[in-house]
Structure 1
Amino acid sequence: MDETYYLGAYWGARKESAKECAARTEVLFASLASVDPSFARWFQLGKSRKEGLKRSIEPRSQDLEKIISRGRDKVVEELGFRFSGWNGAPDDRDASAFDVTCGGYSARVSNFWLFDLPVQGPSADRVLTGSILAGLLRATAVAWEPDWGVVLSHSHRDLVEPHRVPRAPYIGWVTYLARHRGTVPPLPAPVHIEPVENKGTLIILTPERFTVSNPEHVSLAERVRGLLERGGLLEP
């Protein structure tokens, strides 16, 4: 079975209006086409593929605000807004989708942006590389200013979850840590470190596809996690 991957960016309570969330989404969408052409168009979810393809998401702030406003929690306002979409790829295994909760200011929930990434096909062949995923996480970090973010396989997450400190960042194929967490220390080769404006740091473990079937990859991730933990960068 193919190893499947996702991108997640997470931040704590941050009260933002639908307009403010729309402005951040517009910034993200404006940069996605330059990351990969499969991220150039997005659609709202429908009851069927045919219906969804009729519901194109226009990447303009005023249009996004209308969509986001419809996703407000009707009972508890402090839970923020929830909305989602997909890129309309003809093959579901080669499709990407997103899910977001934003504007929440309750300690009971976390704000997040998630990308489900393609599994198999021409888009997957392009996207599932260290450079493209670094670009995708960079764009997400610039737009949403999360506390941390990660590109991680579900298999790797399941492997490390039993030993993870609750609510602490995962260390994955590509990891983003906000600047306020501290300075990233020197890390072993082939790990590559990139600044994200003045907001934080990207950590790319390997340019090749990270897989849990490769013990060297898993060992490298654990070694980097240990160094960052000792440096105080992985506090919950």
Structure 2
Amino acid sequence: MVTSKDQPKSYPETYYAGAYWGVREESPEACARRTANLLNLLAPSDPFLAEWYKPTRSLKDARKFPLMPPDLPTLAEQFRRGVNRERGGPVFKELGFTFWFGNGGADYDNSNLRIHCGGYDEGTANTCVLTLPTLGRSPNAERVISAPVLTQAVRSMALAMDPDWAVAMSHAYRDMDDENRAGPWVGWVTYFSKQRGTVPPLPAPVRIEPVEDKGTLIVLTPERFTVTNPEHVALANHVRELLTRAGLIKPR
């Protein structure tokens, strides 16, 4: 297993949030409704996550095509364009639809949402992944990469996308988790649907929150989780062990 001392020292730790669920046949319109709900739920968490734009050839052009406030016909059309098909061949409806768009930021000061929705082939994963700005290279990252904002981001994904599980974490810690490459991963903020089981009592400073009647959020620490802090890594590893014993994570 990779340890924190093996992580490169010259690069800032980067973070993302993602939601994941199994086969679920849905139309482009249904995917659009979920996406509209997600964008509306994300917006109050931080101004950086309140502006989104259709994909274009340049950032300058993107500003001409805002996605906020969400328009269902526009979103549904974007999902239809993201259907899986062979060049000049038939549409593979069972593989679902993909829509990838951003918040109009440049270089390291941006966020993107990549949503794959409506797939019902057993080999297809439905996902919603939010990339985040880079610490030390973005004027917004210090504010966005915080427990309150990422807790709201994961909660928004849980409510809008109804996933099996979701997480906000650093790429560095995910890469240390060699035993669960297909997930679920335990991150800084983790969500489990109630269908996966009951979250057991967890040690301080871990916070557990219900997400309406859908599932449970787990927030490891109120301060920024980083692999350079051995106490954070030890806590995350211990929580993963407890969740595995409780059956929420299946051992390989």
For the superposition of Structure 1 and Structure 2, which TM-score range results when normalised by the shorter chain?
over 0.9
1:180 and 2:191 equivalent?
Answer: no
The aligned counterpart of 1:199 is 214
SS at match of 1:92: coil
SS at match of 2:167: strand
**Following the alignment from structure 2 to structure 1, what is the Cα–Cα distance between the partners of residues 169 and 124?**
21
SS at match of 1:109: coil
Match among 72, 77, 82 for residue 66 of structure 1: 77
**AA matched with 2:80:** S
Q: Any gaps of 5 or more consecutive residues in structure 2?
A: 1-10, 86-90
1:122 and 2:139 equivalent?
Answer: yes
Match among 9, 21, 24 for residue 31 of structure 2: 21
Moved more, 189-198 or 49-58: 49-58
The aligned counterpart of 2:236 is 221
Q: CA deviation at 1:88?
A: 0.8
**Following the alignment from structure 2 to structure 1, what is the Cα–Cα distance between the partners of residues 42 and 187?**
21
1:80 and 2:91 equivalent?
Answer: no
**AA matched with 1:63:** T
Contact 1:168 1:235 in 2 (8 A): no
**AA matched with 1:223:** H
Q: CA deviation at 1:39?
A: 1.2
Moved more, 55-64 or 73-82: 55-64
When the two structures are aligned, how many residues end up with a matched partner?
233
Identity of matched residues, %: 49
Match among 139, 143, 154 for residue 171 of structure 2: 154
**AA matched with 1:80:** G
The aligned counterpart of 2:247 is 232
**Following the alignment from structure 1 to structure 2, what is the Cα–Cα distance between the partners of residues 188 and 94?**
35
Give matches, 1:30-179, under 5 Å: 30-58=40-68, 59-74=70-85, 75-89=91-105, 91-120=106-135, 121-160=138-177, 162-164=178-180, 167-179=182-194
Deviations 1:88-123 (A, max 9, x none): 12x421211110100000011100000001113332
Q: CA deviation at 1:68?
A: 1.2
**Following the alignment from structure 2 to structure 1, what is the Cα–Cα distance between the partners of residues 179 and 37?**
36
Cα RMSD (Å) of the superposition?
1.3
**Following the alignment from structure 1 to structure 2, what is the Cα–Cα distance between the partners of residues 144 and 195?**
16
Deviations 1:16-57 (A, max 9, x none): 000111111111111221111111111122222223333322
**Following the alignment from structure 1 to structure 2, what is the Cα–Cα distance between the partners of residues 167 and 153?**
16
**AA matched with 1:78:** E
Query: Normalising to structure 1: TM-score of the pair?
Result: 0.95
